[in-house]
Structure 1
Amino acid sequence: MSKPLIVITGASSGIGAATARLLSAQGHPLLLLARRLQKLEELSLPETLCRGVDVTDRDALQAAVREAEERFGPADAIVNNAGVMLLGRIADQDADEWERMIDLNIKGVLYGIRAVLPGMVARGTGTIINVSSVAGRKTYPNHSAYVGTKFAVHALSENLREEVASSGVRVVTIAPGAVETELLSHTTDERIKSDYEAWKKSAGGALDPQTVAEAIVYAYQQPPNVTIREIVLAATGQQA
């Protein structure tokens, strides 16, 4: 029996790429989305449609999902993993960085949900998996705007779960602590980046993206009548 289609955003590296490899190995056709199309294609996964889509482009995201569904059938799940972490102090951080995080971390998640949710509700089945962060549950120095976007992901995910629970659609929030990905590289304040790296080292290192991918797949593979509402995971040495 063939496996259903799964959509993964931000799939060019880190958690998204690890999740793509894992789900592909289990036989799922995939729609992989990221701005870096070449990185997606380098994964060389079978039965996979790769599209160079920025998830802040609602029309392009919708079009890619429709194209994948025409080829592989209805999307049974989406992993809204695309996101950006731009750390800084509110008093001196470039406001354009706030805009980028709001557009990608909040609007991008909403656009991903909207691209698949109507079909899921109509079919009475489906899983929305939103990758948030421990920073969606507590605060950290120099994280104010980023924390705001991740608290939003937690809130919208829980409210959405309440909206669609009676329709047979599951909503899962994945909240990892520090992960060894490219996320920190986008921060422009070198002092903050240095302090963050020192903090990770003091905690004995960060999570491997594969570990987070396994948590995502664990939640997805539960029976349809079971929703893992939230998974919070972090390196054992990460105190905060």
Structure 2
Amino acid sequence: MSGSRGSVALVTGASRGIGRALAVRLHQAGMRVAATARSAEALDALAAELGGDDVLALPGDVTDQQAVTTVVETAERVLGPIDLLVNNAGAAEPRETTLWEADPEAWWGTITTNVLGPMLYIRAVAPGMLARGSGRIVNVNSLLGVWTLPTQTAYGVSKAALGKLTASLSAGLAGTGVLAFDYSPGRVRTDLTSDLGDLPGARDDSWTSMEQAVDGVLAIAHGRLDALAGRFIHARDDLDTLTLRAAEITARGGRVVSLTEAFDGDPLSRR
């Protein structure tokens, strides 16, 4: 599968923001799209806008294992085998606070959505991809998985964990024909980024356009970045340069969540 017309994409968190834009663009590229989120009304509006029998609105909570199973089984029964999974659904703490002031339930809820959600969808989709020997899984990550924002600890911890999940998944998929990607769309103006507030030292020109954010996923869907499976890719990267330097990036162990070298020959920084 290389993002060809008629391939099937499943996008989580597709009722608004980046997820909605992704569903629209993937459909415009000729893919059949299964769109899932908690809001049935918003998904129905998306399906009505796109039209046709190649768009499927499937309400469900990404943290509910039975709901995830139902979404995947329905999507594959109606549209066909899933070629591209985009784990886009995400959450941030409802209020920016330091860790010691955070509400534990809200904190853990963010972790659950951002880590358990992708894990459940991967678990549901991967066996079919492995049986067919092809497929791509995109985990939508964030620079806050590698940078530090002291008032959004759950979000940062969850995205760091997601990066490790992608790297571990990619290692496990080696040689199977199924590829996993860690993709950061950057600071796109959405409801979620308004909840996150300003990044330390961020400039007005540090925002990513929605078009640029979506283009990265399209590049992955079309196979342009296959050599960077398991690595952290950012929307504002020069994707052509990344592709040309993929062998170097891989050899150096770059673009994965890992310890940095504290001193020359630091044994714990060796892969």
Q: TM-score range by the shorter chain?
A: 0.7 to 0.9
Moved over 3 A (4+): 184-187, 197-200, 223-229
Q: Distance in 1 between matches of 2:200 and 2:180?
A: 34
Q: Alignment partner of 2:205: what SS? A: coil
Q: Structure 1 pair 22/54, CA: closer, same or farther in 2 (3 Å)?
A: same
Q: Structure 1 pair 88/154, CA: closer, same or farther in 2 (3 Å)?
A: same
Q: Distance in 2 between matches of 1:131 and 1:197?
A: 18
Query: Aligned pair 1:154/2:156, yes or no?
Result: no
Q: Distance in 2 between matches of 1:109 and 1:213?
A: 19
Residues 136 and 175 of structure 1 are in contact (CA less than 8 Å); yes or no, is this contact kept in structure 2? no
Q: Structure 1 pair 36/167, CA: closer, same or farther in 2 (3 Å)?
A: same
Query: Aligned pair 1:10/2:19, yes or no?
Result: no
* Alignment partner of 2:38 out of 30, 35, 38: 35
* Aligned position for 1:124: 133
Please, which runs of 5 or more residues in structure 1 have no aligned partner? 188-192, 236-240
Q: TM-score, normalised by structure 1?
A: 0.87
Q: Distance in 2 between matches of 1:217 and 1:21?
A: 11
Residue-by-residue CA offset, 1:212-237 (whole Å, 9 max, x unaligned): 111111112116964443312359xx
Query: Aligned pair 1:69/2:66, yes or no?
Result: no
Higher relative contact order (CA 8 A, sep 6+): 1
* Aligned position for 1:238: none
By how many angstroms is 1:152 displaced?
0.3
Q: Which has the larger radius of gyration?
A: 2
- Within-5 A mapping of 1:135-146: 135-146=144-155
* Aligned position for 1:96: 105
Q: Alignment partner of 1:167: what SS? A: coil
By how many angstroms is 1:90 displaced?
0.6
Q: Structure 1 pair 91/40, CA: closer, same or farther in 2 (3 Å)?
A: same
Q: Distance in 2 between matches of 1:230 and 1:205?
A: 18
Identity of aligned residues (%): 32
Q: Distance in 2 between matches of 1:206 and 1:35?
A: 27
Q: Alignment partner of 2:99: what SS? A: coil
* Aligned position for 1:190: none
Query: Aligned pair 1:105/2:86, yes or no?
Result: no
By how many angstroms is 1:132 displaced?
0.6
Q: Structure 1 pair 76/140, CA: closer, same or farther in 2 (3 Å)?
A: same
Residue-by-residue CA offset, 1:128-157 (whole Å, 9 max, x unaligned): 100010011121231222110000000010
Q: Distance in 2 between matches of 1:223 and 1:197?
A: 30
The code of the aligned residue for 1:75 comes to: I
Residues 219 and 225 of structure 2 are in contact (CA less than 8 Å); yes or no, is this contact kept in structure 1? no
Aligned CA RMSD, in angstroms, stands at: 2.2
- Within-5 A mapping of 1:207-226: 207-222=208-223, 226=227
Q: TM-score, normalised by structure 2?
A: 0.77
* Aligned position for 1:230: 232
Deviates more, 1:92-101 or 1:77-86: 92-101
Query: Aligned pair 1:48/2:49, yes or no?
Result: no
Please, which runs of 5 or more residues in structure 2 have no aligned partner? 238-271
* Aligned position for 1:80: 87
By how many angstroms is 1:209 displaced?
2.4
Residues 185 and 214 of structure 2 are in contact (CA less than 8 Å); yes or no, is this contact kept in structure 1? no
